[in-house]
Amino acid sequence: MKFIKNNRCFIVAELSGNHDGKLNNLLKMIRQAKIAGADAVKIQAYEADRITMNSDKKFFKLGSTSKWKKYNSLYKLYKKAETPKHWYKKIFLYAKKIKITIFASVFDINTLKFFEKEIKCPIYKVASPEIVDIPLLKSLGKTGKPIILSNGLADFSDLSLAVKTIKKYNKNVVILKCTSTYPAPKFSLNLATMKDMKKKFSCEIGFSDHTTGIESGVFAAALGAKVLEKHVVLKKSSKTVDSFFSVDFKEFKKMVDVIRANEQSLGKISYKINKTSKINLHGRKSIFIYKDIKKGEKFTEKNLTIIRPYHGLHPKFYDFVLNKKSKTNLFSGDPLKLKHVQK
């Protein structure tokens, strides 16, 4: 996957509807994401009229337990949260100007066509509810661009069909482990599933984090998530649509810094003595003379010892030199060398 570089986690600041309908807020968020160390920012590209219907029927009502119940209906929620279409070009141009990757979740084929023709989006995201939209998945696959899927509302058969549909045209698929609860309790995450998804679907894997705080995102990256998506908001005190499970940029930066530090610690598979450790090689044990030895005298357990530092023979030669004779006089505290041993 080209956008995943040097085996690092690709960290995405999800902007969602937290711009609160103000373009300036969205541009500030993009800038703050860049400063905080995000690899990319992502917008949600939909129009309320395309993603749902403006209907008073019960099917479109938000239930009493919904965190967004004050908006009453799906249409009103999405109308409040949508990123206006006439902003798209300005947003992408600004991100390009400050040199941060930007991409979009698309929710319908017409929006995808617009992005392909007018925006040249480098990556596409499929939100959990859209994972069952097979015509959309086909169209996304045909773009040939990397596709990131969230599995929050998909069971195994749904996910299998989605991956199969895209891979018919395009092998560049990343699956994000996702819990579509807002905020998501930590016990519901089942991050252990990521490695199983990677094995079963032969895809890169990641985590769409809807928890509060940064701990789960950090842990997911340590477990091997190569894409991490986290909702952000300008201020914790904001009352935007997704602010109640989003982090501010101070928290986001802390998350990025911890993940990058962990990546340095993880490193690569290596059995070599690290360069920074070699300066302390003298601290290893080696064979020393314990009691004075005269020329021609045998080396024994009583006149030899294995101690620090590492200036004498490697201890692997200990059995070899026992009962052999010394070529020269040696004194207590001398390091034993092969040149001292008669063959």
> Over the stretch 82-98, which tens digit does the pLDDT of each residue have?
999 999 999 999 999 99
Q: 233, 246 in Cβ contact below 8 A?
A: yes
pLDDT confidence of residue 316: 97
pLDDT confidence of residue 279: 87
Q: Distance of CA 137 to CAs 112, 142, 334, Å?
A: 11, 9, 75
CATH fold, domain 10-47+82-266, is TIM Barrel (3.20.20)
Instruction: Return d(Cα 343, Cα 327) in angstroms, integer.
Output: 9
What is the helix, strand, coil percentage profile of the chain, to 5?
40, 20, 40
pTM of the predicted model, to two decimals?
Answer: 0.89
Domain range annotation of the chain = 10-47+82-266, 275-340
At 297, list the tokens: 């005298």
At 131, list the tokens: 């994972």
Q: What is the CATH number of domain 275-340?
A: 3.90.1210.10
pLDDT confidence of residue 341: 97
Instruction: Return d(Cα 124, Cα 77) in angstroms, integer.
Output: 23
95 closest CA partner among 44, 151, 186, 26: 26
Tens place of pLDDT per residue across the chain (343 aa): 788 988 899 999 999 999 999 999 999 999 999 999 999 999 999 999 999 999 999 999 999 999 999 999 999 999 999 999 999 999 999 999 999 999 999 999 999 999 999 998 999 999 999 999 999 999 999 999 999 999 999 999 999 999 999 999 999 999 999 999 999 999 999 999 999 999 999 999 999 999 999 999 999 999 999 999 999 999 999 999 999 999 999 999 999 999 999 999 988 889 998 888 888 988 999 999 999 999 999 999 999 999 999 999 999 999 999 999 999 999 999 999 999 999 8
Q: 255, 214 in Cβ contact below 8 A?
A: yes
Q: Residue 262: in which H helix or E strand, if any? A: helix 249-266
Instruction: Return d(Cα 63, Cα 159) in angstroms, integer.
Output: 27
Please classify residue 270 by burial: count the beta carbons closer than 10 Å to its beta carbon, then call 0-12 exposed, 13-18 middle and 19+ buried: exposed
Q: What is the pLDDT of residues 222-244, one digit of tens each?
A: 999 999 999 999 999 999 999 99
Query: Kind of pairing, strands 227-231 and 286-289?
Result: unpaired
pLDDT confidence of residue 2: 81
Instruction: Return d(Cα 151, Cα 131) in angstroms, integer.
Output: 7
pLDDT confidence of residue 173: 97
CA-based radius of gyration for the chain: 30
At 223, list the tokens: 């477990």
